[in-house]
């Protein structure tokens, strides 16, 4: 396999780096009919690197169902669609997003119109290939697998194998990822012919303009330290990563009860609520987005200033993707990782992977402890709201998604502030 290495100049705008280095090289490779493996640190412009050559090829030979882009998450699929439509607006490119959590019939109608580009998650695409009459990908010219390692780690291998069997062998294939794994190497052997490897960086690393810190704290005071950091860095935009859907929801309720504009994003929310949360955060209507790893890949939200790893990631490589939500395209940003007495080994693995020792984030412990009483009270009300929401779910499955946004949280903020709890109408 022929390998091309590109060194991005860190202090220049990455958009220019993409145009000057990555895109022309990939475009030349496309012209010569070679398949491509693209490896680059997160935030370096991978979407543009595959979208621009595909749109250029589409302009030269217009065709319906021209390209398929596979992504691991629904939110990333919508983002890629937006970027394709923005870059291809002058040539009238049409895209269809095929993901779970959305009505299949409307997607079938979109596919019946034969869009130029299909952006899909593997599971729902297989569903349409098997059940939607008249839909096939037998004329496909380009296949892109974005965040390929994540697609395979989410156990989509069976679906990917099925898709590879029903699309033409005579196609051009793009395999894009920020990290290379054994599964991706296996897929590369199965799906690519004589590939060229375009690597912006050969080792796992984070960008230079990202300031990384850790906090070693007792597990029982995690919430209190989180509130302290949000107060200390007030005015910034935060993404806070939790390990479970339940903890994401609980922490969002806790912060809202303390007056922060926090909003959750996790896999147990309906797709409309997930997109609603993301759009509110993107529009800066909310300053804090609490998310599981469903939001750790590919999402490009330029105004994120601080990433907090509230729960340390189990897999070290997920750390690189999480902190990559800030300091994108040449900007600067901060990342703070909470390390409890149970997380020391996981944290040491992360430091070993990125090849650096992280400094401690400076805190005033006596000021943190002054927040304990208010935080404890807010924790109690957050648990009450979670219980009430769980009971409501059991009583009425069709109303399960009503409080995902926590906009309708019980009026406990008044209680935390010293007022009385009021009963809401309809309870």
- The model's confidence at residue 26, banded by pLDDT at 50, 70 and 90, is low
Q: How many CB atoms sit inside 10 A of residue 90's CB?
A: 8
| Window from 79-88, 376-385, 416-425 with minimum mean pLDDT | 416-425
User: Which residues, including other chains, have CB under 8 Å from residue 272's CB and lie 6 or more apart?
Assistant: 101, 401
Is the pLDDT assigned to residue 197 strictly greater than 70? yes
pLDDT of residue 398: 52
Q: What is the mean pLDDT of residues 169-185?
A: 81
Q: Is the pLDDT of residue 2 over 50?
A: no
For residue range 266-316, what is the model confidence (pLDDT) as tens digits?
988 988 899 999 999 999 999 999 999 888 877 778 889 999 999 999 988
- Fold identical between 2-199 and 210-416? yes
Could you tell me which of 352, 328, 350 has the C-alpha nearest to residue 208? Answer: 328
pLDDT digits (tens, 9 = 90+) for 314-328: 988 889 888 888 887
Q: Count Cβ neighbours within 10 Å for each residue of 408-422 and write b for 16 or more, e otherwise.
A: ebbebbebbeeeeee
Tell me how far apart the alpha carbons of residues 247 and 291 are, in angstroms, rounded to a whole number. 9
pLDDT, tens only, 379-408: 999 999 988 887 777 776 555 444 444 444
Query: What integer is the mean pLDDT of 194-222?
Result: 82
* pLDDT of residue 365 exceeding 70: yes
Q: How far apart are CA 293 and CA 281, in angstroms?
A: 16
Which of 15-29, 263-277, 348-362, 372-386 is predicted with the least confidence, judged by mean pLDDT?
15-29
Evaluate if residue 76 carries a pLDDT over 80. yes
Q: Domain 210-416: give its CATH architecture.
A: 3-Layer(aba) Sandwich (3.40)
State the pLDDT at residue 205: 64
Handedness of CA 255, 235, 301, 156 (dihedral sign): negative
Which CATH architecture group holds 2-199?
3-Layer(aba) Sandwich (3.40)
Measure CA 424 to chain center: 35
pLDDT for the residue 30: 53
Task: Return d(Cα 280, Cα 237) in angstroms, integer.
Answer: 12
**Where in the chain are the domains?**
2-199, 210-416
**What pairing do the DSSP bridges indicate for beta strands 210-216 and 238-241?**
unpaired
Q: Is the pLDDT of residue 262 over 90?
A: yes
Q: Which residues contact 349 (CB under 8 A, 6 or more apart)?
A: 316
**pTM greater than 0.85:** no
Mean residue pLDDT of the chain comes to 83
Estimate to the nearest angstrom the gap between the alpha carbon of 14 and the chain centroid. Answer: 20
pLDDT tens, residue by residue, 98-156: 999 999 999 999 999 999 999 999 999 999 999 999 999 999 999 999 988 888 777 78
For the cut 90, the answer to whether the pLDDT of residue 176 exceeds it is no
């Amino acid at each position: 396999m022929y390998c091309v290495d590109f060194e991005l100049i860190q202090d220049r705008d990455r958009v220019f780096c993409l145009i000057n280095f990555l895109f022309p090289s990939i475009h030349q490779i496309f012209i010569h009919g070679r398949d491509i493996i693209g490896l680059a640190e997160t935030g370096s412009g991978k979407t543009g690197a595959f979208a621009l050559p595909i749109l250029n090829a589409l302009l030269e030979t217009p065709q319906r169902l021209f390209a398929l882009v596979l992504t691991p998450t629904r939110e990333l699929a919508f983002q890629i669609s937006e970027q394709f439509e923005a870059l291809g607006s002058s040539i009238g490119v049409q895209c269809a997003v095929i993901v779970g959590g959305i009505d299949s019939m409307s997607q079938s109608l979109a596919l019946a119109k034969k869009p130029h580009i299909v952006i899909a998650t593997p599971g729902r695409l297989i569903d349409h290939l098997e059940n939607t009459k008249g839909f096939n990908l037998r004329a496909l010219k380009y296949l892109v697998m974005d965040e390929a390692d994540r697609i395979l780690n989410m156990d989509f291998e069976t679906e990917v194998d099925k898709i590879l069997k029903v699309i033409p062998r005579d196609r051009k294939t793009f395999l894009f990822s920020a990290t290379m794994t054994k599964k991706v190497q296996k897929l590369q052997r199965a799906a690519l012919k004589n590939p060229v490897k375009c690597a912006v960086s050969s080792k796992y690393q984070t960008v230079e303009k990202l300031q990384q810190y850790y906090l070693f704290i007792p597990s029982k005071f995690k919430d209190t330290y989180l509130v302290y950091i949000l107060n200390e860095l007030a005015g910034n935009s935060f993404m806070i990563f939790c390990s479970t859907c339940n903890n994401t929801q609980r922490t969002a309720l806790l912060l809202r009860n303390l007056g922060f504009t926090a909003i959750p994003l996790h896999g147990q929310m309906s797709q409309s609520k997930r997109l609603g949360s993301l759009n509110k955060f993107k529009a800066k209507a909310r300053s804090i987005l609490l998310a599981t790893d469903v939001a750790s890949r590919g999402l490009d939200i330029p105004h994120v200033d601080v990433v907090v790893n509230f729960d340390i990631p189990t897999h070290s490589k997920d750390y690189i993707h999480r902190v990559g939500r800030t300091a994108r395209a040449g900007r600067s940003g901060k990342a703070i990782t909470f390390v409890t007495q149970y997380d020391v080994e996981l944290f040491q693995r992360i430091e070993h992977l990125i090849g650096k020792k992280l400094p401690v984030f400076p805190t005033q412990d006596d000021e943190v402890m002054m927040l304990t009483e208010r935080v404890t009270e807010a924790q109690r009300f957050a648990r009450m709201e979670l219980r009430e929401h769980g009971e409501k779910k059991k009583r009425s499955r069709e109303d399960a998604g009503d409080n995902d946004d926590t906009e309708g949280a019980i009026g406990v903020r008044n209680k935390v502030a010293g007022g009385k709890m009021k009963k809401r109408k309809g309870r």
